[in-house]
């Protein structure tokens, strides 16, 4: 198999994309931080259904990690990522250095409201979405894709990026793709490799309890009762919970009294030193 080309600079990325544009080929972008797993590959497949050419960016973005978070120990598995993307038949990897993305003197950040201030991830990672939006905004202008694929696994991120692209009139269609799960229901995540065997087994409580909670809500239980039960079950499984909340599936606002709106159940919590997130439709 031919090795998959890698662009390390914005100039090299743009040169390749321009060649495709000259032949009228559409382009889709899949932004990632690498440490790829089948969840990421499902985004590549979804991208291929939308566009002839697929660029996968691999960039562990320092701006979205707080100083106390796992930036330096975040898994970096480039050779394996490249091999997986070659098998998946992606067209190009964009893997810039930190200096290429944030040259000396870099001084601009995208400031967010709406879904970025829902009181979910933002309450626990207050600088995270500004970092995400800034790098994704840059990737969108660097690559100028027709489509960009994001996983529902990071549901608030999907809403933040969708809102940003719309608000800034960026000519890209943001598309969400369903969460890919392990056989026991645990959402695939690059961070699952931090889990011990016992913690990994306990993580199966997340999808199980979320499913039970969603069923109770659909069955007419009051939100507060269903969520209280769900939180208790997750604590019993060993999680220290940041949140288990039901929110409006589009805006992430608190549900209105009386029901009738589409809801999303969202969870974040820690087991040992590893923080995991997940969400499902109610
Ligand atoms: P990251 O894991 O942060 O590099 O995520 C890169 C992209 O892959 C994001 O759009 C994530 O939402 C998406 N993603 C991560 N895990 C999954 C999964 N299990 N299923 C589907 N998409 C995922």
Residues framing ligand 1 (Cβ under 6 A): 32-33, 39-40, 42-43, 150-151, 153-154, 177, 179-180, 187-190
The model carries a pTM of 0.97
To test ligand 1's pocket by mutation, which of 28, 30, 31, 43 has the most ligand atoms within 8 angstroms of CB?
43
Identify the structural domains of the chain with CATH numbers, from first to last. Answer: 6-177 (3.40.50.620), 190-281 (3.30.1300.10)
* pLDDT band for position 73 (cuts 50, 70, 90): very high
Give the closest residue (by CA) to ligand 1 atom 12: 151
| Residue 151 Cα: closest atom of ligand 1 | 12
Give the closest residue (by CA) to ligand 1 atom 13: 151
Q: Is 24 exposed, middle or buried (0-12, 13-18, 19+ CB in 10 A)?
A: exposed
Residue 42 alpha carbon to ligand 1 centre in Å: 9
pLDDT of residue 260: 86
Q: Is the pLDDT at 279 greater than 90, yes or no?
A: yes
The Cα-based distances of 215 to 179, 210, 222 in angstroms read 19, 9, 12
Give the closest residue (by CA) to ligand 1 atom 18: 39
Residue 62 alpha carbon to ligand 1 centre in Å: 17
Residue 153 alpha carbon to ligand 1 centre in Å: 6
Instruction: List the one residue out of 149, 133, 142, 153 whose CA is nearest residue 28.
Output: 149
Give the mean pLDDT of the chain: 97
Tell me if 5 sits within 8 A of 17, measured CB to CB: no
Question: Measured between alpha carbons, how far is 227 from 207 in angstroms, rounded to an integer?
Answer: 14
40 is catalytic: yes
* pLDDT band for position 1 (cuts 50, 70, 90): low
Catalytic residue among 39, 40, 53, 231: 40
What is the average per-residue pLDDT within 133-141? 98
To test ligand 1's pocket by mutation, which of 37, 153, 165, 191 has the most ligand atoms within 8 angstroms of CB?
153
Residue 36 alpha carbon to ligand 1 centre in Å: 9
The share of the chain scoring above pLDDT 70, in percent, equals: 99
Question: Is 271 in a helix, a strand, or coil?
Answer: strand
Q: Is the pLDDT at 252 greater than 90, yes or no?
A: yes
88-135 residue pLDDT tens: 999 999 999 999 999 999 999 999 999 999 999 999 999 999 999 999
219-230 residue pLDDT tens: 999 999 999 999
* pLDDT band for position 257 (cuts 50, 70, 90): confident
172-227 residue pLDDT tens: 999 999 999 999 999 999 999 999 999 999 999 999 999 999 999 999 999 999 99
pLDDT of residue 211: 98
Exposure b/e, 244-271, CB count within 10 A at least 16 = b: bbbbbbeebeebeeeeeeebbbbbbbeb
């Amino acid at each position: 198999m031919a090795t998959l080309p890698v662009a390390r600079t914005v100039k090299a990325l743009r040169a390749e994309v321009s060649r495709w544009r000259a032949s009228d080929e559409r382009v889709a972008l899949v932004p990632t931080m690498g440490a790829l797993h089948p969840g990421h590959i499902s985004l590549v497949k979804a991208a291929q259904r939308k566009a002839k050419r697929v660029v996968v960016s691999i960039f562990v973005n320092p701006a979205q990690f707080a100083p106390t978070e796992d930036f330096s120990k975040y898994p970096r598995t480039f050779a394996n990522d490249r091999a997986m993307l070659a098998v998946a038949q992606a067209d190009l990897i964009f893997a810039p250095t930190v200096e290429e993305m944030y040259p000396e003197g870099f001084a601009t950040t995208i400031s967010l409201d709406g879904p970025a201030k829902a009181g979910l991830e933002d309450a626990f990672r207050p600088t995270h979405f500004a970092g995400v939006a800034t790098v994704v905004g840059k990737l969108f202008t660097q690559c100028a894709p027709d489509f960009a694929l994001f996983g529902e696994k990071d549901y608030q991120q999907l809403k933040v990026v969708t809102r940003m692209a719309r608000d800034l009139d960026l000519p890209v269609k943001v598309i969400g793709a369903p969460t890919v799960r392990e056989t026991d229901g645990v959402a695939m995540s690059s961070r699952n490799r931090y889990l011990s065997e016992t913690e990994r087994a306990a993580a199966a409580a997340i999808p199980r309890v979320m499913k039970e909670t969603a069923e109770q809500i659909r069955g007419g239980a009051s939100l507060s009762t269903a969520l209280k039960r769900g939180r208790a079950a997750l604590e019993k499984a060993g999680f220290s919970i940041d949140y288990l909340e039901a929110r409006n599936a589009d805006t992430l606002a608190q549900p209105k009294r009386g029901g009738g709106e589409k809801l999303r159940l969202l969870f974040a919590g820690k087991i040992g030193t590893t923080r995991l997130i997940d969400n499902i439709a109610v």
